[in-house]
């Protein structure tokens, strides 16, 4: 009995029983959850908590003078949200955003939806008008719970201050557990000013969520299920792993790689899973999908057993679900979310559970039964696909080709830098031409496709991984969405490297308009000639700010750019007609893939027609 009491006493939070303000409780729990950086913009309704952050940092200052939990101030709240997302994607930890009420909260709607779409864990703490003023159209009031409820994993409005501590702790658990996602906490100012006892432990009951979570975490693979899987694998001659973002979100990269390497199964990844498989590995097929590598898409066409791991068969991968993997006699699917099983594509075998554990258990079972199968012929076919249908472009052009820029940078980074992007053609070129040796090196807005993501996400990633080289590959239109964050990078002396591939307009939109709208450039051919990006970068404190316009200068300029120790900005004037190829039109199958003028393709059917004209 005495030993039990001693253990309980040892486990007790050192501040338990202390009287604190609501704001101090918020900050203490945020720190207890392992947060080392907060991103946010101040305002009246969040001032009590901002003051608590200041006092916490003053009391926990490190020997070198740095704050214990620095608060990074962006140009606007959307930037803060994307910084937190970049931090979370690069680190695997929960990103934290702290903003004021009204416009402060509503400016985070896009990052919250972006994180929900890509399963990224962040916690957004919003100030709110006092409880008595809610619903009165008070100054800087917005119905955060109503607005965010449809785009977040969960939203809390804290009107009972006694539940504040448990709510903050529960928000972090919700954000990181199961299928990760954004959680929003709306805290009225009077709740922040309330004083009460800090308990040091405890969460909200959330009985329904815990039941669903327990059902997933408790659903172990049975020997019978393993036997059925290996029966399907034994029948296959061309198995293929189709890995999605869930592999990275579930920290299952090592387990997936071990499983693939043990049996010699090639791997192709979605846009969100780049780095889950080392792209330099002989059996790695890089990215599949609408703008996937031709060899990867052809491997999907040829495979006879498709194994989907943490992937959801979205429309950018399976535009025509019936004809996706047409020769696959069987399809298996692993996911943490039961709603994704068979949602788009009928599967013959599935497992809803913890992906890392399930892959490890499946591998162990295969070893126990002595599973063996010779896939050497398939390996030879994969090697031939990768050689025959490799990426290529006009290497003799008098204009700078964007692909050449990324190849040049890739020679310096060797697949080990963190690459962030905006959204558009530059995003797809970066996905195609960069190597990724590890997970969490690729940061992009996948499902939402949010322009303006790249720069703030790179800033967040640099805070998460200060030892890494962090590069934002951006477009002239995309970077303008959050160009104010250039000053944030220099304010905090972050050595991020920004490359703007300038084709004077919305390149991806123009590509679609050329293909599907008879080259009617409605609203996309803005010809942004008046924007001097170099002067803008210099005005925001970039000591290295150069423009590259001559193909002959690519190697020396890139070398200087990469060698610069501080923040560096490079504008590259690229061929305005450079396209993203391969391309699979919306709603079409991979046999109708367009590969452009420089990438080989299989013989196309005579009846190929342009796909539906829906924009994206």
- Residues forming the active site: 77, 139-140, 189, 508
Prior bond of 582 cis (ω within 30°): yes
Instruction: Provide CB contacts within 8 A for 212, sequence distance 6+.
Output: 178
Cβ(432)–Cβ(290) below 8 Å: no
Residue ranges of the alpha helices (H) in 129-285? 144-148, 164-176, 189-193, 207-217, 223-235, 245-249, 253-263
In a 13 Å sphere around the CA of 603, the CA atoms on its Cβ side amount to: 2
DSSP state of 329: S
Residue ranges of the alpha helices (H) in 434-553? 454-464, 476-480, 485-491, 507-516, 533-539
Nearest to 270 by CA among 221, 324, 216: 324
Cβ(250)–Cβ(92) below 8 Å: no
Cβ(243)–Cβ(256) below 8 Å: yes
Nearest to 292 by CA among 267, 309, 310: 267
Distance CA 241, CA 284 (A): 10
Tokens linked to 249: 């979100």
Nearest to 311 by CA among 259, 246, 217, 216: 246
Distance CA 292, CA 432 (A): 7
Distance CA 397, CA 578 (A): 11
Tokens linked to 199: 């308990």
Nearest to 335 by CA among 314, 321, 316: 314
Cβ(82)–Cβ(457) below 8 Å: yes
């Amino acid at each position: 009995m005495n030993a039990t009491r001693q253990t309980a006493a040892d486990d007790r939070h050192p501040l338990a029983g202390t009287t604190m303000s609501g704001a101090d409780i918020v900050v203490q729990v945020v720190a207890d959850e392992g947060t080392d950086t907060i991103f946010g913009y101040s305002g009246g309704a969040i001032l009590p908590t901002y003051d608590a952050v200041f006092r916490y940092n003053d009391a926990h200052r490190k020997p070198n003078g740095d704050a214990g939990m620095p608060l990074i101030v962006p140009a606007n709240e959307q930037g803060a949200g994307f910084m937190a997302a970049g931090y979370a994607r690069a680190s695997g930890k929960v990103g934290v955003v702290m903003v004021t009420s009204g416009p402060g909260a509503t400016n985070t709607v896009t990052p919250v939806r972006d994180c929900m779409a890509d399963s990224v864990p962040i916690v957004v703490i919003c100030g709110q008008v006092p409880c008595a003023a809610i619903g009165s159209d008070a100054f800087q009031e917005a119905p955060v719970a109503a607005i965010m409820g449809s785009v977040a994993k969960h939203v809390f409005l804290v009107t009972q201050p006694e539940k504040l501590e448990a709510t903050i702790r529960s928000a972090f658990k919700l954000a990181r557990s199961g299928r990760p996602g954004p959680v929003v906490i709306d805290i009225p100012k009077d709740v922040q000013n309330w004083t009460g006892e800090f308990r040091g432990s405890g969460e909200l009951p959330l009985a329904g969520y815990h039941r669903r979570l327990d059902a997933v975490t408790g659903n172990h693979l049975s020997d019978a299920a393993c036997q059925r899987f290996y029966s399907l694998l034994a029948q296959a001659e061309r198995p293929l792993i189709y890995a999605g973002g869930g592999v990275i979100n579930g920290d299952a990269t090592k387990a997936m790689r071990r499983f693939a390497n043990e049996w010699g199964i090639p791997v192709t990844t979605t846009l969100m899973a780049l780095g889950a498989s080392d792209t330099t590995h002989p059996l790695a097929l890089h990215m599949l999908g609408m703008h996937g590598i031709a060899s990867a898409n052809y491997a999907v066409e040829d495979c006879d057993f498709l194994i989907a791991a943490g992937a959801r068969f979205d429309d950018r991968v399976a535009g025509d679900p019936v004809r996706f993997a047409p020769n696959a006699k069987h399809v298996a699917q692993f996911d943490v979310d039961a709603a994704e099983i068979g949602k788009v594509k009928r599967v013959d075998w599935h497992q809803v559970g913890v992906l890392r554990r399930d892959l490890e258990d499946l591998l162990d079972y295969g070893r126990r039964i002595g599973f063996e199968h010779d896939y050497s012929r398939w390996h030879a076919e994969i090697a031939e696909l990768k050689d025959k249908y490799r990426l290529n472009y006009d290497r003799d052009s008098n204009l700078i080709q964007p692909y050449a820029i990324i190849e040049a940078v890739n020679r310096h980074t060797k697949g080990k830098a963190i690459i962030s992007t905006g959204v558009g053609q530059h995003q797809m070129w970066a996905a195609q031409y960069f190597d990724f040796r590890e997970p969490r090196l690729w940061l992009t807005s996948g499902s939402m496709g949010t322009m303006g993501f790249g720069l703030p996400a790179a800033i967040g990633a640099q805070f998460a991984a200060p030892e890494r080289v962090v590069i934002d590959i951006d477009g002239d239109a995309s970077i303008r969405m959050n160009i104010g964050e250039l000053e944030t990078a220099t304010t905090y002396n972050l050595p991020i490297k920004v490359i703007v591939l300038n084709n004077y307009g919305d390149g991806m939109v123009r590509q679609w308009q050329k293909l599907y709208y008879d080259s009617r450039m409605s609203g996309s051919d803005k010809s942004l000639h008046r924007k001097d990006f170099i002067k803008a970068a210099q005005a925001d404190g970039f000591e290295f700010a150069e423009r590259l316009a001559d193909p002959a200068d690519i190697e020396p300029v890139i070398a200087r750019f990469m060698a610069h120790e501080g923040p560096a900005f490079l504008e590259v004037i690229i061929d305005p007609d450079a396209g993203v190829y391969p391309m699979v039109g919306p709603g079409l199958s991979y046999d109708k893939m367009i590969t452009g003028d420089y990438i080989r393709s299989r013989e196309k059917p005579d009846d190929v027609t342009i796909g539906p004209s829906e924009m994206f």
